[in-house]
Structure 1
Amino acid sequence: MAKPNVINLNDLFGTDEGDILESSDVGIKEVYLYKLIPFRNHPFKLYEGQRLQDMIESIKEHGVITPIIVRPMAVQEEQYEILSGHNRANAAKIVGLEKIPAVIKEGLTDEEAMLIVTETNLIQRSFADLSHSERARVLVEHYNAIKHQGKKIDLINEIETLSNTDNFNENSDSSQLATKGRTDAKVGENYNLSKDTVARYLKIDALIKELKSRLDKEEIPFIAAVNLSFLKVDEQNIIEEILKEKNFKVDMKKAEILKSFSQGRNLNYDKAHEVLSGKYFDKPKKAKSFKLKPKLVSKYFNENQTQKEIEEIIENALEIYFSKKDEIE
């Protein structure tokens, strides 16, 4: 079986890889499933449907081959937080296993733990398989890691080793993560992201979770979501409250107006409702106003006439002009 083309975000951000850490330095032990807890605020959705069933069948036949990655929680409780392998752990529970192999990472910061969560998801899946919010989280975490360089680049390299990407075979967990009928072409699908696209995804991550969910469900267009990400958190909550109550649709034009109100510090519930309902765009346009040139005024009117008298004369003259025009036509 051909080795899959693993997406490398170091290339995307224009960075160089350090030396890959040797997997032999990593200790693996069997961990009871009941001692595992999900990563807090886990940004990735668990597999469902056929994809989950494929993994269950593979684990029934081969067991969990590639270890999950965890970090210890409170010592007295002997619990471990899952950093990589939420789907493997879930499928193993369904199968009825008691223990699964795990790599235990000690002394990680929360930022480093999140980096493992995002990087391993990107390694195990195609970037195209991720939802918009998942792509945003991956890019943000990697972007932050690149800014700090050093240790975190080494951590990214170690993650790739732990994920067994250099030893891909039909019995690996990478194949357990693949869906039936998935061709090598799709697994190795290449993608190109412009700097503008990366910047948009970095902004998308600033959305509240409810609006991210609407984006993932295609209830909000991508560019519209980018514009909404410029709103402050309390303003985004207002938008979500209105959408939940009224089920209005959000398009790019509405999102642009909401963004402009926010930037002008003039966005509140009433204005947001007016925009989202579409009433804002139904307002009659203001009548054009103009001023007569002083030379024209002095030619036809004397200085003793008031503005009201001048307006009445002009109105009567226009009525006569247009009535004669209609008769001619």
Structure 2
Amino acid sequence: MLERLNEALDHIEAHIRRRIEATELARIAATSEYHFRRMFSALAGMPLSEYIRRRRLTVAGAEVLAGDRTLLDIAVRYGYGSGEAFARAFRAVHGVGPGEARRYGAPLHAQPRMSFRLVVEGSSSMRYRIVEKEQFHVVGKKARVPLVHEGVNPAIAEFIRSIGQDTTERIAALSDQQPEGVVAVCDDLDPSRAEGTELDYYHAVVTRADAPDDDLDTLVVPPGTWAVFENSGPFPEALQILWRDVFTQWFPSNPYQSRPGPEILRTRLSENGNQADAALWIPVERVAVSD
């Protein structure tokens, strides 16, 4: 898998001045576009589109400083429709406009070319199981919140605090299958997984029933395969590390890829709220393994 991901990175470099389609990169990596974007974001620490933009403007920056072409020529050469659009993108990455950089020799920010490699530590194992589930409903309260990669998500914390105890108890009573109890469900995430992009967050349960009350929200989840990962540790750091390890360690070494669908997290906190036992449910599909 990592070898194919690196071939996709080579394709980016070979076509850095052209429009690069995620579908083509996914084809080279022999996976779905959905899974490729997820894998790239987890491994690189940034969305695919952001990496391509930074690499393109890193290479363009060298041409700006060289002074062999006009700024408009460089803008067109790297796919920008106007000098103004190029200048805006250039400033967003380098902190100065291309004209200033050329006139004053301003220092620029370079995005190094990436390559992925597997680091084998062998210090821990991942607890997981594969579960087949029939159609079910996620029933509870929903909010649209920004994505936060590290630490507590303030918008989610405030949303949960706003839900009354009576409502929480009504929701909890609807739980009738695994994962049991009130869970956190994330759905409709931006494909880039960039910090600050929005997602639907449900404080809800997994159930066969529809929402019995008009004030509750329902998400219908079709039948499918789920990979369930478990861990324990400091809250919320251990949960965020678990998600990262699923995509950087488990997927590259197992014959599965992620598929569209909600991610479900069941968390049980310690009395002081500093530790948590967690189970993360990720929708997956098996991929063919070549002989």
Normalized per residue, which structure has more helix? 1
Considering the TM-score relative to the shorter chain, is it more than 0.5? Answer: no
> TM-score normalised to the size of structure 2?
0.23
